[in-house]
Amino acid sequence: MQTIGEGWANPLKRFMNEMELLECMNKKTLTVDGKVHLMSVPITQHVSTAQKESFANAEAITITYKGENLAIINKPVFFENRKEEICTRTFGCFEQSHPYAENIMAQGEWLVSGESMDFIKKIMWNDEMD
């Protein structure tokens, strides 16, 4: 989320939707307003089935961390978290013991995106690198 909110993933302004994810995995690009940009790593947000069901009719989802509201996903949409495909296409292989694959395989079964995102607060880690 920090990557999107601070513009490091420009032109991405929210978590990838399904078509953007597929383009990123297959072409290593992201097309926005007819312009093609290099984008080799998917930027997504996972949710569990229970979370998906509880957000089913929501107009917006607020993302919180340690009780603080950080961002809002407007008009959320959900799609399958293609974990094995994401690992294979991103890392060039699928091995569940791969450190990043372990993280992806532990994610929820769904990914969420939305029409837009509003960032409420800058993420601060207080690590002297903020």
pLDDT tens-digit readout, 77-130: 999 999 999 999 998 888 888 889 999 999 999 999 999 999 998 888 888 877
The secondary structure of 72-114, three-state, reads EEEEEEEEECCHHHHHHHHHCCCCCCCHHHHHHHCCCCEEEEE
In a domain, 108, yes or no: yes
Domain that holds residue 48: 2-119
Any domain includes 124: no
Count of the separate structural domains present in the chain: 1
pLDDT tens by residue, 17-53: 999 999 999 999 999 999 999 999 999 999 999 999 9
Q: Is residue 115 part of a domain?
A: yes
What's the pTM value of the predicted model, to 2 decimals?
0.91
Question: Hey, CA dihedral for 83, 88, 94, 97, is it positive or negative?
Answer: negative
CATH number at residue 63: 3.10.400.10
